[in-house]
Amino acid sequence: MDLNGKALSQTIKAEIAEEVANLTAGGNRPPHLVAILVGEDGASRTYVKNKENACSRVGFASTIKRFDASITEDELLAEIASINEDDGIDGLIVQLPLPGHISESKVTHAIDPSKDVDGFHDINIGKLTKGEDTFISATPYGIIQLLERNNIETSGKHCVVVGRSNIVGRPMSILMSRNDNPGNCTVTLCHSRTADLKSFTLMADIVIVALGRPEFVTADMIKPGAVVIDVGITRVDADNEKGYVLKGDVEYSGVSEKASWITPVPGGVGPMTIIGLMQNTLKAYKSKFAS
């Protein structure tokens, strides 16, 4: 059965919008997310635009601060410092990638951890690792909610995560192993050096795939009844109006016949990612305005 991220994201957006309406009814300002966009990268512009649209749908204020690719690292750091000081801003994200002359690590760590709604700051990653309350980065947060809201049992299950990136695979593996619900899995984290990947995925009750290789995971790699979460999104050339189709990392037609639950691409994990960002922004806001 499909894990419908599109429908769930709409439900949660409506919940956020209602909460924002209640929180602002007494005269408080709405939550405010600022996105910094450096340069003219087309994909980055689309991502930031989508975030701005999502903000307006839930009643947040949002600001996109656009800078030319020639901005210096010091200028960008000064901008971040001034946003950190601004009490009218709850969340700050810097759209990656940045031009080569700017250190992404320096920029990520310049953001006040209490405004780091992407959850990329070391302090927030450290808290996540220790199981403390923090901003969980958007994609893993979205996946956790897909599991939770569909009442998928995770406790005692074997979860195999394929891919160990800092934004998806690694935090996902930590979340699935934490003493919480969803969580309490026995976790195996696989990557490009894993020998005999199929022997691990075949053991899994839950498989979370974040590779960036279209249709890499096939039905013969999946145990009957497994839950399959497909994070991958790759544009593959196609003979249609757009000139491409979006493909996940899982070969959907075969795997969906074996899996108990599977996220489609598009419409699965993708729409839930933006929800994670909205919820983190609301959380940052509520730490100021709701007791």
Which residues are designated catalytic?
Answer: 51, 95, 118
CB of 244 to ligand NDP, least distance (A): 13
Q: How does DSSP classify residue 115?
A: G
In the complex with ligand NDP, the residue whose CB is nearer, 37 or 168, is 168
Contacts of ligand NDP in 159-178 (CB under 6 A): 162-165, 167-169
What is the chain's percent helix, strand, coil content, to nearest 5? 45, 15, 40
CB of 249 to ligand NDP, least distance (A): 6
Asked if residue 210 lies in contact with residue 273, where contact means CB atoms within 8 angstroms, the answer is no
Quote the CA–CA distance of 228 and 232 in Å, as a whole number: 12
The residue range among 76-84, 112-120, 171-179, 207-215 that interacts with ligand NDP, by the rule CB under 6 A, is 207-215
Please state whether beta strands 158-162 and 91-94 pair in parallel, antiparallel, or not at all (unpaired).
unpaired
The residue range among 43-51, 78-86, 116-124, 158-166 that interacts with ligand NDP, by the rule CB under 6 A, is 158-166
CB of 170 to ligand NDP, least distance (A): 8
Please state whether beta strands 158-162 and 206-209 pair in parallel, antiparallel, or not at all (unpaired).
parallel
The candidate with the shortest Cα–Cα distance to 67, out of 89, 36, 43, is 36
**Under 8 Å CB-to-CB from 155, ≥6 apart: which residues?**
181, 183, 184, 185
Residue of the chain from 131, 212, 254, 267 that contacts ligand NDP (CB under 6 A)? 212
Quote the CA–CA distance of 94 and 48 in Å, as a whole number: 10
In the complex with ligand NDP, the residue whose CB is nearer, 210 or 250, is 210
CB of 164 to ligand NDP, least distance (A): 4
The residue range among 72-80, 95-103, 173-181, 193-201 that interacts with ligand NDP, by the rule CB under 6 A, is 193-201
| Residue 29 interacts with ligand NDP (CB under 6 A): yes or no | no
* Segment (H or E) for 22: helix 5-24
Contacts of ligand NDP in 231-260 (CB under 6 A): 231-234
Residue of the chain from 68, 193, 196, 253 that contacts ligand NDP (CB under 6 A)? 193
The two tokens of residue 33 are: 């997310």
Q: Can you spell out the DSSP letters for 193-251?
A: T-SSHHHHHTT-SEEEE----TT-B-GGGS-TT-EEEE---EEEE-SSSSSEEEE-SB-
Comparing every residue's Cβ against ligand NDP, the nearest one is 165
Contacts of ligand NDP in 70-99 (CB under 6 A): none
CB of 223 to ligand NDP, least distance (A): 18
In the complex with ligand NDP, the residue whose CB is nearer, 52 or 112, is 52
The site for ligand NDP (CB under 6 A) is made up of 139, 162-165, 167-169, 190-194, 197, 210-213, 231-234, 269-270, 273
